[in-house]
Amino acid sequence: MANTWGYGAMTNHFGDVVQNSKAMMVIGGNPAAANPIGMKHFLQAKDRNGAPLIVVDPVYTKTAAKADHYLRIRTGTDVAFVYGLLHVIFKNGWEDKEFINERVYGLDEIKAEAKKWNPEQTSDVTGIPAEQIVQVATVLAKNKPATVVWALGITQHSTGTSNTRIIPILQLVLGNMGKKGGGCNIIRGHDNVQGSTDMCCLADSLPGYYGLSTGSWKYYAKSWGVDFKWLEGQFAAPKWMNEKGFSLAKWWQGVLQEEKTYSSSPIRALWVQGNGITSMAQTAKVQEALDKLDLLVIADPFVNEAAVITNRTDDVYILPIATQFETEGSVTATNRTSQWRSKVVEPLYECKADHEVMFAFAKKFGFYDEYTRAMKMDVKDGVLQTVKKDFNWPDDASDEIARIVKTIGLGGWTAKRLREHQENWHMFDPLSLEGYGPMKGQYYGLPWPSWDTKHPGSPVLYDVDTPVNEGGMGFRNRFGLEHNGVSQLAESSVTVKGSKIKGGYPEITKDNIEKVLGITLTADEKSKIGANWKVDHSGIIQAKCREKGVAPYGNAKARSIVWNFPDPIPLHREPIHSPRPDLVERFPTYPDQENNFRVETKFISEQTKQVWAKDFPTMLVTMRVVNLSGAGMLERSSKYLSHITPEMFANIHPDLALEYGLKDGDMMWLHAPQGTKIKVKAQYSFSVTPDRIALPYNFAGMMQGVDMSQNYPEGTKPYTTGESSNTITNYGFDIITQIPEFNAGLCRIEKA
Ligand SMILES: Nc1nc2c(c(=O)[nH]1)N[C@H]1C(S)=C(S)[C@@H](COP(=O)(O)OP(=O)(O)OC[C@H]3O[C@@H](n4cnc5c(=O)[nH]c(N)nc54)[C@H](O)[C@@H]3O)O[C@H]1N2
Ligand SMILES: Nc1nc2c(c(=O)[nH]1)N[C@H]1C(S)=C(S)[C@@H](COP(=O)(O)OP(=O)(O)OC[C@H]3O[C@@H](n4cnc5c(=O)[nH]c(N)nc54)[C@H](O)[C@@H]3O)O[C@H]1N2
Ligand SMILES: [Mo]
């Protein structure tokens, strides 16, 4: 199962924005509530650099309240909006021609699509006034470098992947990538969510984003000191090794088997370790699936509300887990830096840390030795081998990661270095991240890639004006050497500063290393070197690259065409449940999807099943509130935090409320296209227009009007319970990642 929420990482960092950004566009994010520390930096950039703040959001948020330009977009139309900006930029010749020619592939198709999106057409689709589109395009073109910041308003759509591609394309066109003060600063969510994706709490890759392929599995088998055949034998059949698993968004389908499902058998047991369950879309389906399972195990410091919304009376196990204050180890922040954390107290009462629970189960299942073996291994004389009898937690776990995960360059993240950074916090500049004294020549937290144990970390990705050994690099050569006869490498004029290799170069392999780097390997080196930089345990490829000032992953072009995606260039497609039937005809969604993450997913058949807007006329957006987080159980168990939002509510414009005879504070039913409903309090607000409402997503404990609170074990009921917005967020999933379409849907209001 997987957490598929996050999509990307920051290319730059908050301090860089303060120091270098000349403009900022926050699109689909509300850091004032969801990342107040990040927000502080944007306000500083406004003050220090006079950088205008542009906020693009369907709701007038607390972030929007600080904006110089607030654009009230209709949900699910960001691709159209960015094409609208590109239209104005190309029309005026404001694109960075040199950057595009040297470092970008496939922009002609983007240009052709942008031509269609003149300000009037863009305005009709997005709801943003045409003059504002021209104005903001001008601001971005005239204030360089500009950074673009986004979060969930961009990813939680059936077109989420296209959203996350069109914005970097905008930054490429403006020449803002690989620049201090520029880049795409995607604010990741939870504490350590970046680390959890890097470490593969994902159903479609191996740790470090190694693909699901026999080659990657073999690399991991070797890295873990286990036999590949043994690993293969752990699967029901070998073919499942290279198949994506179920995703967190649709695991319930594996239980209910209502839509077409591709797996060896139905899911019968669910183990939840650190996920709120009610934070998922389709909560009514989740409830049905929870009821149907044979076994439910929840490992959580709190009573996870999965145990509360189910009607089952048996076979639910709640394992008390230690909090982060009771454990030690590294976590990864949104800007790709690692931080070491110390244990504050030993685990209290009978609770155990997550890894202890995992170890206990591995023992019970009989693979504890294989599970922990890599922590006893190391590379000696260029050869990976077992070097000791026992391991030392958590340091050896961190060193294992550093030894194995080459793809994103974690080679430098040894426990020793991370501990030194923690001990020397005061020796780093909080804005530039540069170290002084004993930390001189390193960046705080060694932002990845930190290729090897001498590397300082890379605070700004793709920066060719900085030597590789000091944090610079080109774009990664990830998609072959050429496509349709066009080279994918950077032009000859793009030499990474200080590099001995001029211009673009491919990713380094055993076969090309001598030619690309102009060196000759010894017979001993040849016998030890791995097939390519991603799987080279010997460290030879990295060492040779260091000598030449070369990034082992190549120096290539960024591509704006993804030839193997359903939409090779991002295209506007209406949300599955759109308020504009006329636009559904012009911009239909994708064909239904046969099999992604083991399940069928409906797209066009759902979009055209009926004219949804007729029966469900109001748009639905979900949001975060500053005092609650995630599924909300933690904070709703705090007297003081729950007091701020004592009840589940919806922000509703008085004009809309009055259409339904709702006074401020009245209860109302909200009905969803999938036939579900929730009962919530109407809270008058001018942050929304009369065509839309906004709901926090951090409540649980009620299901479609039914109070489930008798299910909390004695003494655990939080101070506040309420309906989960996710009972009515509409059916719809991103075509690639399967992120639910939390942020573009429809509902119908009824006075309760
Ligand atoms: N409608 C709507 N739904 C959304 C979103 C939205 O914007 N709108 N956002 C989505 C996003 S981005 C996310 S990330 C998810 C978040 O949703 P969840 O992942 O559900 O978030 P949390 O409630 O923070 O955490 C889940 C559980 O982890 C437990 N926990 C905390 N620390 C530990 C630990 O150390 N070990 C273990 N084992 N458990 C621990 C907590 O007690 C909690 O029960 O929600 C998604 N759902
Ligand atoms: N207090 C608090 N802080 C949190 C969390 C929390 O639950 N509570 N959760 C953490 C997590 S896991 C995450 S992932 C982050 C998320 O951080 P954010 O994404 O900043 O949080 P949201 O409040 O979901 O903000 C999403 C914004 O996108 C807007 N939006 C909705 N649809 C669209 C659209 O189609 N286009 C555009 N342009 N905007 C749209 C919404 O109106 C909303 O203002 O926050 C983290 N921080
Ligand atoms: Mo998140």
pLDDT digits over 505-563, tens only? 999 999 999 999 999 999 999 999 999 999 999 999 999 999 999 999 999 999 999 99
Quick one: which ligand is closest to 167's CA? 2
pLDDT of residue 2: 31
Please report where in the chains the tokens 């009462």 appear, as a residue: 349
* Residue 563 alpha carbon to ligand 2 centre in Å: 30
DSSP 416-436: HHHHHHHHTGGGB-TTT-BB-
Tell me the pLDDT tens digit for each residue of 651-680.
999 999 999 999 999 999 999 999 999 999
Evaluate the omega torsion of the peptide bond into residue 449 and state whether it is cis, within 30 degrees of 0.
yes
Please report where in the chains the tokens 């390193």 appear, as a residue: 442
Residues within a 6 A CB radius of ligand 1: 5, 152, 156, 189-190, 273-276, 279, 299-302, 304, 321, 323-324, 354, 622, 629-631, 633-634, 697, 725-726, 729, 742
Which has the minimum average pLDDT: 127-141, 265-279, 600-614? 265-279
Q: Are the CB atoms for 736 and 8 separated by under 8 Å? A: no
* Residue 328 alpha carbon to ligand 2 centre in Å: 29
Structural element, H or E, at residue 320: strand 316-320
Find residue 669's DSSP bridge partners.
Answer: 679, 750
What is the rounded (10 degree) CA torsion for 400, 405, 406, 408? -130
From the CA of 623, give the closest atom in ligand 2.
23
Percent of the chain's residues with pLDDT above 90: 97
DSSP 195-255: HHHHTT-SSSSBGGGB-SSHHHHHHHHHHHT--HHHHHHTSSSGGGGGS----TTTHHHHH
Please write down the long-range contacts of 608-612, taking CB distance under 8 Å and 24 or more positions apart: 608/584, 611/581, 612/577, 612/578, 612/673, 612/746
Tokens of 109: 């198709």
* Residue 188 alpha carbon to ligand 2 centre in Å: 10
Q: State whether residue 519 is helix, strand or coil.
A: coil
Identify the sign of the CA torsion 303, 306, 310, 312: negative
Beta strand segments in 558-691, E? 558-559, 593-596, 599-601, 618-623, 649-652, 667-671, 677-684
Task: Give the side-chain half-sphere CA count within 13 A for 340.
Answer: 21
Which residue's alpha carbon is at the smallest distance from atom 43 of ligand 1?
A: 276
* Residue 567 alpha carbon to ligand 3 centre in Å: 25
Mutate to test the pocket of ligand 2, among 30, 133, 689 (most ligand atoms within 8 A of CB): 30
* Residue 46 alpha carbon to ligand 2 centre in Å: 22
How many whole angstroms from its chain centre is CA 530? Answer: 31
Distance, CA of 279 to CA of 635 (rounded, Å): 14
From the CA of 190, give the closest atom in ligand 2.
12
Find residue 340's DSSP bridge partners.
Answer: 330
Q: Are the CB atoms for 448 and 413 separated by under 8 Å? A: yes
Q: Which residues contact 319 (CB under 8 A, 6 or more apart)?
A: 297, 298, 299, 300, 352, 357
Which residue's alpha carbon is at the smallest distance from atom 39 of ligand 2?
A: 28
* Residue 6 alpha carbon to ligand 3 centre in Å: 6
Asked if pLDDT for residue 590 goes beyond 70, the answer is: yes
* Residue 198 alpha carbon to ligand 3 centre in Å: 14
From the CA of 623, give the closest atom in ligand 1.
7
* Residue 631 alpha carbon to ligand 1 centre in Å: 5
Mutate to test the pocket of ligand 1, among 300, 327, 344 (most ligand atoms within 8 A of CB): 300
The length of the chain, given as a count of residues: 752
From the CA of 743, give the closest atom in ligand 2.
32
* Residue 629 alpha carbon to ligand 1 centre in Å: 8
Distance, CA of 574 to CA of 589 (rounded, Å): 6
| Exposure class string for 536-569: b at 16+ Cβ within 10 A, else e | bbbbbbbebbbebbbbbbbbbbbbbbbeeeebeb
Please give the mean pLDDT across all residues of the chain.
96
* Percentages of the chain per state (helix, strand, coil), in multiples of 5: 35, 15, 50
**CB atoms closer than 10 angstroms to residue 381:** 8
From the CA of 694, give the closest atom in ligand 2.
42
Q: State whether residue 680 is helix, strand or coil.
A: strand
Please report where in the chains the tokens 């649980």 appear, as a residue: 700
Quick one: which ligand is closest to 154's CA? 2
* Residue 716 alpha carbon to ligand 1 centre in Å: 18
* Residue 158 alpha carbon to ligand 2 centre in Å: 16
pLDDT of residue 1: 27
* Residue 725 alpha carbon to ligand 1 centre in Å: 14
Asked if pLDDT for residue 716 goes beyond 90, the answer is: yes
From the CA of 725, give the closest atom in ligand 1.
1
Quick one: which ligand is closest to 303's CA? 1
* Residue 630 alpha carbon to ligand 1 centre in Å: 4
* Residue 274 alpha carbon to ligand 1 centre in Å: 7
pLDDT of residue 3: 32
Quick one: which ligand is closest to 305's CA? 1
Asked if pLDDT for residue 233 goes beyond 90, the answer is: yes
Amino acid (one-letter) located at 550: V
Asked if pLDDT for residue 598 goes beyond 50, the answer is: yes
Mutate to test the pocket of ligand 1, among 57, 279, 641, 680 (most ligand atoms within 8 A of CB): 279
Res. 67 pLDDT band, cuts 50 70 90: very high
Q: Which residues contact 345 (CB under 8 A, 6 or more apart)?
A: 325, 326
Residues within a 6 A CB radius of ligand 2: 5, 27-31, 33-35, 56-59, 61, 73, 75-76, 78, 151-153, 189-190, 621, 623-624, 626, 628-630, 698, 743-744
Asked if pLDDT for residue 4 goes beyond 60, the answer is: no
Q: Are the CB atoms for 645 and 628 separated by under 8 Å? A: yes
Please write down the long-range contacts of 610-617, taking CB distance under 8 Å and 24 or more positions apart: 611/581, 612/577, 612/578, 612/673, 612/746, 613/577, 613/578, 613/579, 613/580, 613/581, 613/746, 614/581, 615/673, 615/748, 616/577, 616/671, 616/672, 616/673, 616/746, 616/747, 616/748, 617/579, 617/746, 617/748
Residues, CB-to-ion distance under 5 Å, ligand 3: 5, 189
* Inter-CA distances, 709 with 188, 201, 508, 719, Å: 32, 31, 58, 11
pLDDT of residue 181: 98
pLDDT of residue 9: 85
* Residue 41 alpha carbon to ligand 3 centre in Å: 20
Q: What is the reported pTM?
A: 0.97
From the CA of 57, give the closest atom in ligand 2.
39
Mutate to test the pocket of ligand 1, among 251, 272, 275, 737 (most ligand atoms within 8 A of CB): 275
Res. 5 pLDDT band, cuts 50 70 90: very low
Which residue's alpha carbon is at the smallest distance from atom 31 of ligand 1?
A: 274
* Residue 202 alpha carbon to ligand 2 centre in Å: 21
Res. 265 pLDDT band, cuts 50 70 90: confident
Asked if pLDDT for residue 20 goes beyond 80, the answer is: yes
Which residue's alpha carbon is at the smallest distance from atom 5 of ligand 2?
A: 629
Q: Which residues contact 426 (CB under 8 A, 6 or more apart)?
A: none
Percent of the chain's residues with pLDDT above 70: 99
Mutate to test the pocket of ligand 2, among 66, 152, 188, 734 (most ligand atoms within 8 A of CB): 152
Q: Are the CB atoms for 236 and 264 separated by under 8 Å? A: yes
Q: Which residues contact 102 (CB under 8 A, 6 or more apart)?
A: 490, 491, 493, 494
From the CA of 31, give the closest atom in ligand 2.
20
From the CA of 743, give the closest atom in ligand 1.
8
Quick one: which ligand is closest to 187's CA? 2
pLDDT of residue 77: 98
Tell me the pLDDT tens digit for each residue of 611-657.
999 999 999 999 999 999 999 999 999 999 999 999 999 999 999 99
Tell me the pLDDT tens digit for each residue of 448-493.
999 999 999 999 999 999 999 999 999 999 999 999 999 999 999 9
Largest CA distance in the chain: 84
Helix axis angle, 78-91 relative to 119-126, nearest 10°? 170
Res. 264 pLDDT band, cuts 50 70 90: confident
